[in-house]
Amino acid sequence: MIVPRGPQLRRLVGYVGGPLLLLVLYDGAVVLAFKVLGWTWIALPHIPLALFGSSIGLIVAFRNNSSYGRWWEARTLWGGIVNNSRSWARQVLNSMTPLKPGDNELMGDIQVRMVYLQIAWVHALRAQLRGQPPLDEIKDLLPADELARLQGQRSVSLALQMRQAELAKEVLEHEWIDSLQWSALEATLSDLMDLQGGSERIKNTPMPKQYDYFPRLFVQIYCLLLPLAMVLNMGWYTPLGSTLVGFIFLALDKIGRDLEDPFDNGIYDIPLSAMSRTIEINLRQMLGETELPDPLQPVDGVLW
């Protein structure tokens, strides 16, 4: 995610630099053909640019609204993951009461393991959504026996949730919590599973191909018609007017395509790495740890 920090001219120019350069060259060729070669037939001043532009603008705006809706839903889902992860750790750490003094050590070990499983689940889910190896992200968070359980699992995040549910049941069998407290833990796990499912739905359901193909095609056709409609009235200034209008439509088209997949590990996605690190810091702090990792900072204006 790009962090606002004032205008970035280099990134702005590079955003649609290639297509815009081609448009400038094409505009220049049209002007030269009309002014120097005398090809007056290429001028098409009666093309209804305003009508075409309005129609294409509506189509592109509709596609962009759909793309932003996906991006914002992804951000909302991960906001829920942040909140429910904190709730899970709070429930685990505050709801258990040992029956015997000898249970303190075992209970404390299970509590730490349950919280670290949640941290690992967040990192594993992030890696899966980005198409990265999840075990590489959690190998420093879990003991060897827990990592051995995850070898060969198709969905590491799902396996981690199953392990959390097993430990919650074990805690209930030890009678450190009652059935109502166990139900609360299960409800939190269910909420986290729903949030995972929502994220996977966005990741695994791309925008319909028509939403990507036709708006781009219409924008390209419109940019090709621009200098033909302007050259008779604007003459040598045609590239200026055509390029400015074309830049607006090319930028709008690219914005929609960039927001379609908020889990693509690109600079326009939601900052999963930073959010995962925030969850890890919060949960380890709740465990009473003092040596915590630092929050992720933007790199070249991008928060990952």
Q: How many CA atoms lie within 13 A of 103 on its CB side?
A: 14
pTM: 0.83
What are the two backbone dihedrals, phi and then psi, of residue 185, each rounded to the nearest 5 degrees?
A: -65, -45
Using an 8 Å Cβ cutoff, are 88 and 188 in contact? Answer: yes
Using an 8 Å Cβ cutoff, are 31 and 236 in contact? Answer: yes
Confidence of residue 77 (pLDDT cuts 50, 70, 90): very high
Confidence of residue 13 (pLDDT cuts 50, 70, 90): low
What are the two backbone dihedrals, phi and then psi, of residue 140, each rounded to the nearest 5 degrees?
A: -95, 0
Q: Name which of 209, 297, 216 is nearest 255 in CA terms.
A: 216
What was the pLDDT predicted at 87? 93
How far is the C-alpha of 116 from the C-alpha of 134, rounded, in Å? 15
Q: What stretch of H or E contains 253? A: helix 238-259
pLDDT single digits (tens) 153-203: 888 899 999 999 999 998 888 888 888 988 999 999 999 999 999 999 999
Please identify which residue in the block is written with the tokens 């419109």: 222
Q: SS3 for 299?
A: strand
Give, rounded to a whole angstrom, the gap between the first and last alpha carbons of the chain.
6
Other CB atoms within 10 A of residue 175 CB? 11
Enumerate the domain spans of the chain.
75-208+264-304
Confidence of residue 42 (pLDDT cuts 50, 70, 90): confident
